[in-house]
Structure 1
Amino acid sequence: MFQKILLLFILLISVQIFSQQNEITIVSWNIQDFGKTKSNHELEQIAEVVRDVDIVAIQEVVSGYGGAQAVAKLSDLLNRKGAKWDYVISDPTNGTKYASERYAFVWKTEHIKIKNRGRLLKELDALIDREPFFLDFYIADKKLILINFHSRPYNKNPEAEIIALTQYMNNNITGFVILAGDFNVDDANPIFDPLKKQGYSSAVTNQKTTLKRACDGFDYRNHAIDNIFYSNTIAKTENGVIDFVRECENLEMARKISDHLPVYLGFKLR
């Protein structure tokens, strides 16, 4: 009996220490055409990029054959790198054949738990082509709500989708909240002002996250459209863009992984 009580005490203390001292890092990444076209070598490179973070929110998972398998392979590769990972994949979004996709979350399980497999926000499918994916994570005794989102292209009025999602969040979601994704709109656009007035901040500001097809001198980045917005109940500890290209000569190979760079946010729950 004493051993059981001691073990329980140690577990409680470890949870308290983790919640007080450790930060969580989330990466959001539009991995272009994430499915059967990704080779084992490319999946290994993706795993190396995200191995040291805690949660990965992925957009543009192929809705047909190969998408779910690619996420499973990525999780398996990460499991071989020193930590235990799990994953969830959304149902296909309700867009057209060429707009439909899946979302995925992949995360380290030691301190992060889930109680369900999440859901697409079907309430928004009339307003948003690729309705967001919603999942509750539990860190110690606190619930973190993650929303994974990929808006329609820049020339198809993604602003209307952002307005619809902002209104939904304002009316329905409170607590520790993170909205991660590819918005196809620069974070400086006034369309984000209502979200910011709700107390949300962007992880990165004026940071280009897409890759050009060819290098222009030393410049291979294009548009600042990927971001992570977090509620004022969350304290940012670090942030940035993970540039796995680094040099122009690497651009062609990098684009085989994705035409987007991942963005990240380190944080603590207040």
Structure 2
Amino acid sequence: MVKKTLLYLLIFFSFSGFAQEQISLISWNIRDFGRTKNSEELDRMADILRDADIVAIQEVVSGYGGAQAVAKLADNLNRKGAKWDYVISNPTHSSKYVTERYAFIWKTKNIKIKNRGELITELDSLVDREPFFLDFFIKGQKLTVLNFHSRPHDKNPEAEITAITQYLLRLDIKNPLILAGDFNVNEKDSVFSPLKEAGFKASIVNKKTTLKSVCKNNVYVNHAIDNIFYSEQISKLEGKVVDFVKFCENLISARQLSDHLPVLLEFEIE
């Protein structure tokens, strides 16, 4: 009997040692994220984001108001049952009217960082807003996340996507990697083919993520341009658009937060 008990314990601990950590990441372009957001709107945002483990935010305004808004959002999240931390990028090296910051917010219980991230200056001359990357450590396993907001659809965002893809393939990063953001291009476009051929997959496929100004026939979404691409070391459990609108009558209130819906990827690191 003692031998059987020991055998069961050995089997149990052997399998539990291979248990994988489930992580959820949300990417969200929060339009003009800065002083325009009041406390009630920030609290609504926190309710949308509270179940995620990592949040990547695009379109944080470059002035002091942007940093304040991120800090206030993190504070609201801290009041909802978990401890969060955040980092904000420097302003991108862009012309006056397109300069932005990026932000990451994450739960600190099982997720650590060793630096505060940095903009990828090597891409400075090739993109309007260079990506911001940060290495997260999840129970010792490194996960690299790139946060990116491309130029508008009529200003050749495809050239930026090509430049970022070539950069990533040239680096040949071996640890799990995520490229998240607003690409202003649908993931089915051929510009993403080299990334997919390198083993990356899209979290959502042809799902519209931008909000119309006017809702008709309960249709309030427009373009499929936000996504999360993940490398082959990552196993997707779920990918979806976080629809906090649901009904036409909620559209005006929803657009006070952003004209984009968040995208979620729930995953395990293999």
Which of the five TM-score ranges fits, normalised by the shorter chain? over 0.9
**Offset at residue 106 of structure 1 (A):** 0.1
Indicate the SS of the match to 2:68. Answer: helix
Give the aligned partner of residue 223 of structure 1: 223
Q: Compute the TM-score of the two structures, normalised by the length of structure 2.
A: 0.93
**Offset at residue 65 of structure 1 (A):** 2.3
- Cα pair 1:188 1:206 within 8 Å, conserved: yes
Structure 1: 5+ residue stretches without partners: 1-15
Indicate the SS of the match to 2:31. Answer: strand
Aligned alpha-carbon RMSD (Å): 1.4
Pairing of 1:44-83 with structure 2 (within 5 A): 44-83=43-82
Give the aligned partner of residue 232 of structure 1: 232
- Cα pair 2:21 2:269 within 8 Å, conserved: no
**Offset at residue 98 of structure 1 (A):** 1.0
Structure 2: 5+ residue stretches without partners: 1-14
Question: In 2, Cα distance between the equivalents of 1:24 and 1:17?
Answer: 17
Give the aligned partner of residue 250 of structure 2: 250
Q: Is the counterpart of residue 121 in structure 1 residue 120 in structure 2?
A: yes
Moved over 4 A (4+): 16-19
Question: In 2, Cα distance between the equivalents of 1:174 and 1:219?
Answer: 41
- Cα pair 2:20 2:269 within 8 Å, conserved: no
Q: Compute the TM-score of the two structures, normalised by the length of structure 1.
A: 0.93
Question: In 2, Cα distance between the equivalents of 1:137 and 1:22?
Answer: 13
**Offset at residue 17 of structure 1 (A):** 5.7
Give the aligned partner of residue 139 of structure 2: 140
Give the aligned partner of residue 4 of structure 2: none
Deviation string 1:42-84 (CA, Å, 9 cap, x unpaired) is 0000000010110000000000120000000000010111100
Distance change in 2, residues 1:19/1:30 (3 Å) = farther
Give the aligned partner of residue 8 of structure 1: none
**Offset at residue 141 of structure 1 (A):** 1.9
- Cα pair 1:134 1:146 within 8 Å, conserved: yes
Give the aligned partner of residue 84 of structure 2: 85
Give the aligned partner of residue 267 of structure 1: 267
Question: In 2, Cα distance between the equivalents of 1:84 and 1:145?
Answer: 21
- Cα pair 2:71 2:86 within 8 Å, conserved: yes
Structure with bigger gyration radius: 2
Give the aligned partner of residue 161 of structure 1: 160
Question: In 1, Cα distance between the equivalents of 2:124 and 2:17?
Answer: 38
Question: In 2, Cα distance between the equivalents of 1:242 and 1:108?
Answer: 19
Deviation string 1:235-268 (CA, Å, 9 cap, x unpaired) is 0011100000000000011001000000000000
Question: In 2, Cα distance between the equivalents of 1:184 and 1:55?
Answer: 22
Give the aligned partner of residue 185 of structure 1: 185
How many matched pairs? Answer: 256
Indicate the SS of the match to 1:250. Answer: helix
Question: In 1, Cα distance between the equivalents of 2:253 and 2:56?
Answer: 22
